[in-house]
Structure 1
Amino acid sequence: MFSAFGDPTLLVRPRTDAEHPGREEQSGHVGVIIDVSGRSVHLDGMPVRLTRVEFSLMIYLMGASMRAVGREELLCRVWGDGAAVPIDRTIDVHIRRLRNKLGRFARTIRTERGAGYRFHAHPEISVFTPEYVI
């Protein structure tokens, strides 16, 4: 599913003009860094504040990136069987907010008409998962 590359904070560093000719100096890593164990997201070196549900929704869609995920499945897997399970349109609202927060990477979460939502990988999105030692 995802590869573990170690500490993602080591990648968040200032870039120089020599590394990106023609661009102004960036305040950090260009792209999206998602740290699953730290439950954090950085967009172009800046932290993105996601709610618990938005983060869980994004991670679930990423894990199922080979297929579209329907609303019923998202309700079960992201919200669980608790009493606070929302109506279908609440999912649409959370997806819209998540897309807004992802900025120029909003199109990585796509609507598949009649099927649900699908995450499309992007080369500028890095995902870090916990390393397990047995």
Structure 2
Amino acid sequence: MNLLVVEDERTIANQLKQLLEKERYRCDVSYTYHDATKLIDEKRYDLILLDWNLPDGDGLTLLSLLRKEGIATPVLMLSANTEIDDRVKVLDAGGDDYLCKPYSNIELLARIRALLRRETPQKNTILTCAGLKLDTSSREVSVDGKPIKLSLSEFDLLEILLQNKNIVLTRYQLNEHLSQDYNSLKFSNIVDVHIKNLRKKIGLDDCITTVRGVGYSIKD
């Protein structure tokens, strides 16, 4: 998958590039509006991560230009703007998703995977493992066909584990996904509490595996 990062803060842009390449995406970086338009003219991208504020223009204008030119590449807008009106502007301009800064890497990667799945014939809102089924659209969960009720945090935790099957996610990563209180992430045991509750409700032996000293994983 070819991704384009359009971000004027070079440190952030390079960190994003390293993160994405670690996940085995091919990634180009542009620091300006002008350079981004050149790259988009020259290459085909599967996804564009677009910062709102650029030194020689703005991401919203670039997004509108792409859609007017008939370029349907999915766009994930990244911005420090938290106002609802700003999110609406992005969606109205043809954006596919909007993520506020600061964001967790695990959420960013999950959003990227979700957008890329939309572009494949295998698009599916159902995540499964053994007798467990989770529907990301209806937010329903069942085990062997029997519905189970989860809290919002339990659902979000189970969803991220299923989206990363066969990958060990650290307690910090999972906590980062659930909480915006970054100062308390290191000391919180909330993930362990939710995992314990999930295991009780799901009732499947070894569905969620503990990797001692690291975190948790769901395996096929």
With normalisation by structure 2, the TM-score equals: 0.39
1:72-121 residue CA offsets vs partner (Å, 9 max, x unmatched): 11111122347996953221110010011111x24111100111101112
Greater RCO between the two (CA within 8 Å, min separation 6)? 1
Query: 1:60 maps to which residue?
Result: 160
Query: 1:117 maps to which residue?
Result: 216
Query: 1:69 maps to which residue?
Result: 169
Equivalents in 1 of 2:139, 2:145: separation in Å?
15
Distance 1:67 1:44, change over 3 A: closer
Matched, 1:94 2:194: yes
The DSSP-based 3-state class of the residue aligned with 1:67 is coil
Equivalents in 2 of 1:4, 1:108: separation in Å?
24
RMSD between superposed Cα atoms in Å: 2.9
Matched, 1:42 2:142: yes
Letter paired with 1:118: S
With normalisation by structure 1, the TM-score equals: 0.60
Letter paired with 1:48: I
Equivalents in 2 of 1:88, 1:106: separation in Å?
26
Q: Higher helix proportion, which one?
A: 2
Equivalents in 2 of 1:35, 1:47: separation in Å?
11
Query: 1:19 maps to which residue?
Result: none
Q: Identity rate of aligned residues, in percent?
A: 31
Query: 1:108 maps to which residue?
Result: 207
Distance 1:90 1:106, change over 3 A: farther
Equivalents in 2 of 1:56, 1:38: separation in Å?
13
Letter paired with 1:112: V
The DSSP-based 3-state class of the residue aligned with 1:57 is helix
Q: Which of these two proteins has the greater Rg computed from alpha carbons?
A: 2
Equivalents in 2 of 1:50, 1:79: separation in Å?
17
CA contact (8 A) 1:35 1:41 kept: yes
Number of aligned residues = 98
CA contact (8 A) 1:68 1:118 kept: yes
CA contact (8 A) 1:60 1:78 kept: no
Equivalents in 2 of 1:86, 1:101: separation in Å?
26
The DSSP-based 3-state class of the residue aligned with 2:189 is helix
Deviation at 1:59, TM superposition (A): 0.8
CA contact (8 A) 1:57 1:74 kept: yes
